[in-house]
Structure 1
Amino acid sequence: MKHKTKFASLLLIVMLLSLFVSAQQNKKPNIVFILTDNLGYGEIGCYGGGLTRGAATPRIDALATQGMRLLNMNMEAQCTPSRSSLMTGRWAIRSGTHSVPFGGVADGLTQWEVTIGEALSEAGYSTGYYGKWHLGSHDGRLPNDQGFDEWYGIPRTTDESLWPTATGWSPDIMPAEMTMEGKKGEKSTPLKQYNVDERRIIDAEITKRSIAFIEKQSKSGNPFFTYVALTQPHLPTLPNPAFSGKTGNGDWADMLAEMDFNVGQIIDAVEKAGETENTIFIFTSDNGAEFLKPWDGWSGPWRGAYFTALEGGMRVPFIIRWPGKIGAGHVNNEIVHGVDMFATLAKFTGAKVPSDRPMDSDDQSDFFLGKTQKSAREGFPIWCAERLTAVKWRNWKMHFLRQDNMFDPPVKNPVPVIYNLFTDPREEKPTPDSWVVGPMLKIVGEFDQSVKQYPLISMGTPDTYVPPFAKINSDKKVK
């Protein structure tokens, strides 16, 4: 009888252990997505920066050794379009978010776009957004209206922090940007005027709130999606007072030290919560290097900065870590684009990808997991604002227009100009490799064909306009 009791007890323990292991294996991964603002390819140590820019970046560099580091990660050429394509898995030209809004129109994503926040929320995730949004300024188009349970940050851009000290500025003429916070189902609340003093301390607050969200959700048992949209190094590139003068190498170096510290704090929070093994941790930038003086970013070996189709405007750092799933120390030069994050994260989490509209997002899950050495993408079209400026395919780039910086007018090339990025990374010496025109024009043709079926919408399109393919539920949101 005793033997039977012991056997039953052992059997129960084995069953419980089996159930525990099964539950752990089926547990959905958390996601921490850190998006920096105008961080050039060559700024952090593992991409050739760090000490060469006046400040080591040991925490970010260590993250790269623990996961995969991409050498050919691409974004759209401006803040708003890159954030839009990350959020929706669609080229920003499709949703009227192809340019940074400068006022006068209803800016941001319409309510019938489906964001990754909404997709993950519907898949059972707790979702938090902290930092710069730049995809809508008013209630109805803020993060808590677009799938996030809570948010804190600024609705637009950091250069507006300079307005309160600008000669002739008046809030009666142009109201100051405010830091804001909000929760799903409620209106967002303005907090403080976003001036230069607030600019210096906002990333510390973003980090603090992100950590609090991670700690809270790890205790709840729910999988969580923490989107951390840091404001550095966007102009004015001014470090937190705690880091001012710390490196002895100026504001830019102090900012890099601050950024590395903040990223390290978030990494530590995930570890302290016991969630490291089950968390996909991503670090990247929204577009290429800061350009406006006196805040000069660095694009490493590439020429150009944001607002251009040059590599320096769109090729960015990208690190992804998922212990036990994504190989440590892997470095790859395969083409990936920010628009691919939607389909990839959906695959990792079981979230749904919209099927009622053209999706430009390629699922890179097998590539990241090492099941294939090839990216799911060979190329992509490049818009600068509403202009199709270039196409990138494998290691070639074809420019239809020439524009070296944001202040130069775009000039149509008499014939498309082709560069081989292996032999000419600075895109200065055209190549006669005209055979690549075929696959490049195929990319353009496929997009043009989709537009015939699903017409583009213009910037400023109101939420009351609903495209023929979209269905609206009782909450006025597309499903």
Structure 2
Amino acid sequence: MSKDPSRPNIVLILADNLGWGELGCYGGGALRGAPTPRIDHLATEGLLHNFNVESDCVPTRSALMTGRHPIRTGCLQSVPAGFPQGLTPWEKTLPECLREAGYATAHHGKWHLGDIPGRYPSDRGFDEWFGIPRTTDESQFTSALGFDAEVAELPYIMQGITGQPSTDVCVYDLEKRRLIDEMLVEKSKDWLSRKASAGAPFFLYHPLVHLHFPTLPHLDFVKATGNGDFSDSMAEMDFRVGQILDHIDDIGVRDNTVVLFASDNGPEFRPPYRGTAGPWSGTYHTAMEGSLRVPFIIRWPGNVPQNVTSNEVVHVTDIFTTVLAMAGTTKPDDRPIDGINQVSLFQSPAVEKSKREGFPFYIKDELRAIKWRHWKLHLVWEPKVNQSSGKLESPYLFNTLRDPKEESDILAYNTWVLQPIMKLRTEFQKSLADDPARAQLGTRM
């Protein structure tokens, strides 16, 4: 384990489809039918209110792993098994950068950035991995009426080690759906124990499966809350995070380990597993604030002050650059990197401002909205999934401080805001045109 404070260990826990309003520390918890005491206590170590992600699983995970907007990498949306998906070999990932800096790396959880040889986690910078290559709704396949394994791929839990082929462990069905987060925690605990006795710093990426649909709890948590599967799953998720935190303490690495907790996108919109974004409108697959904003918690003993929060704008791409800065290494210089180093904000959230003023928000390859400071300009209006009114001739402008639900268009009274927003758009589009990686998208397979 690393004892060098300039090279801290890093543990990144990513929840799946966890809305801003689900956790107690964000106004949910018991109000959502499931107290979340472990994550709430972690939030006292450092909490952001304005952490922003992409529209669904694949785009966010690609942004996290590369520090680049998905419009650059081609990881635009979740696609079915058997179709081209994942990061091109040209993209450089966070674990690849950290491994070059001497870090041990592991991935236990949901990958969703490549499901063919050459694109599994163990091919993209992780020393070892265990989990699912795509997404968890596939656990429903084998129990679906009419499922035919001759024309549709069976979903598997898999594992792999760098330099060796990744292999199938077992079919991923509804029984394993209930067990998988327990399995993932056991894998992470074992790996952390092994690394605690080694000399190198480590990076653990632990993408949980909860709360992605079908949101089914482990049998130990069925009826734990008395409020149904979704609340029981929230209680399990909180417990699993607590298990990892306790193990970090037990193996004696807490003081030099950064723990990051976040979600990949806004809440579930499919009943009966529908989630909430709290005060914000919308779910994932929209450009509403409930899609962009998700929980983000950081614990960095001796560096991030306790009981301080911030409403400064941070984007998921920033985690790539910030983690590399924490590890004492630099981001790649041969391609545009959208992530910004936010270490100073995390260390002094009461006084520091974010180094980011805004960002463009794409769904697939369409620019839907642009966020700048506390303003949001919608170019396409889709307040709910599959309810788009198409491109707006006159865009809608909202101030998210005064109007968190995005209900009152005030562009006519604030046309001055178009100047910085359109400047941001123009500069980003110019960087796309100059991006050498975009030519690589034709070689995705």
TM-score norm. by structure 1 comes to: 0.90
**Shift of residue 105 of structure 1?**
3.4
Residues 259, 26 of structure 1: alpha-carbon distance in 2 compared, 3 angstrom cutoff: closer
Identify if the C-alpha distance between structure 1 residues 341 and 273 changes in structure 2 by more than 3 Å, giving closer, same or farther: same
Matched, 1:435 2:413: no
Displacement, 1:163? 1.1
Deviations 1:106-131 (A, max 9, x none): 21001111000100011100000010
1:68-87 alignment to 2 at 5 Å?
A: 68-87=46-65
Q: Which amino acid aligns with 2:202?
A: F
Equivalent in the alignment of 1:219? 197
Quote the Cα distance in structure 1 between the aligned partners of 2:381 and 2:148: 38
**Match 2:429 to one of 448, 467, 478:** 448
**Residue from 373, 380, 385 that aligns with 1:394:** 373
Q: CA deviation at 1:288?
A: 0.2
Gaps of at least 5 residues in structure 1 are 1-22, 465-479
Secondary structure, aligned partner of 1:70: strand
Equivalent in the alignment of 2:322:
344
2:12 is matched by which residue type in structure 1?
A: F
Assess if the C-alpha contact under 8 Å between 1:38 and 1:288 holds in 2: yes
Is the contact made by 1:122 and 1:351 (CA closer than 8 Å) also made in structure 2? Answer: no
CA distance in 1, matches of 2:78, 2:440: 10
Change in 2 beyond 3 A, CA 1:199/1:209: same
Partner-residue secondary structure (3-state), 2:119: coil
* d(CA) in 2 for partners of 1:106, 1:352: 31
Match among 3, 7, 12 for residue 33 of structure 1: 12
Distance 1:46 1:459 in 2: 42
Question: What secondary structure is seen at the aligned counterpart in 1 of 2:443?
Answer: coil
Counterpart of 1:352, as a letter, is T
Alignment of 1:234-383 (within 5 A): 234-370=212-348, 373-383=352-362
The CA deviation string for residues 83-113 of structure 1, in whole angstroms up to 9 with x for no partner, is: 0000000001101101112356321001111
Query: In 1, are the aligned partners of 2:12 and 2:260 still within 8 Å (CA)?
Result: yes
Partners of 2:436 and 2:3 in 1: CA distance: 44
SS at match of 1:259: helix
Separation in structure 2 between the aligned mates of residue 26 and residue 40 of structure 1, nearest angstrom: 33
Please tell me the residue identity of whatever aligns with 1:434.
T
Q: Confirm or deny: 8 A CA contact 2:16 2:210 kept in the other structure.
A: yes
Q: Distance in 2 between matches of 1:453 and 1:239?
A: 47
What amino acid is the match of 1:448? Answer: Q
Residue 361 of structure 1: how far off its partner (Å): 0.5
CA distance in 2, matches of 1:26, 1:246: 40
Residue 138 of structure 2: SS of its match in structure 1?
Answer: helix
**Residue 68 of structure 1, CA deviation:** 1.3
CA distance in 2, matches of 1:137, 1:305: 27
Contact 1:164 1:195 in 2 (8 A): yes
Find the partner of 1:412 among 363, 366, 391: 391
Deviation at 1:462, TM superposition (A): 2.8
Report if the CA contact (8 A) 1:97-1:459 is conserved. Answer: no
CA distance in structure 2 between the partners assigned to 1:121 and 1:456 by the alignment: 22
Cα distance change of structure 1 residues 452 and 224 upon mapping to structure 2, 3 Å threshold: same
CA contact (8 A) 1:344 1:363 kept: yes
The one-letter code matched in structure 2 to 1:438 is: Q
Q: CA RMSD in A?
A: 1.6
Tell me which amino acid in the other structure corresponds to 2:416: W
Q: Report the equivalent of 2:92.
A: 114
How far apart, in 2, do the equivalents of 1:26 and 1:83 lie?
28
- 8 Å Cα contact 1:72-1:334 kept in structure 2: yes
Aligned amino acid, residue 213 of structure 2: L
- Deviation of 1:453 after TM superposition, in Å, equals 1.4
One-letter amino acid of the structure 2 residue matched with residue 111 of structure 1? P
Separation in structure 2 between the aligned mates of residue 463 and residue 351 of structure 1, nearest angstrom: 28
Query: Match of 2:108, SS?
Result: strand
C-alpha distance in structure 2 between counterparts of 1:398 and 1:273, whole Å:
48
2:124 corresponds to which of 127, 146, 157:
146
Query: Is the contact made by 2:6 and 2:326 (CA closer than 8 Å) also made in structure 1?
Result: no
Distance in 2, Cα, partners of 1:392 & 1:459: 28
Kept in 2, the 8 Å contact 1:105–1:459? The answer is no
TM-score (norm 2): 0.96
Q: Determine helix, strand or coil for the equivalent of 1:360.
A: coil
Percentage of identical aligned residues? 45
Letter in 2 for 1:403: E
1:200 Cα deviation after fit: 0.7
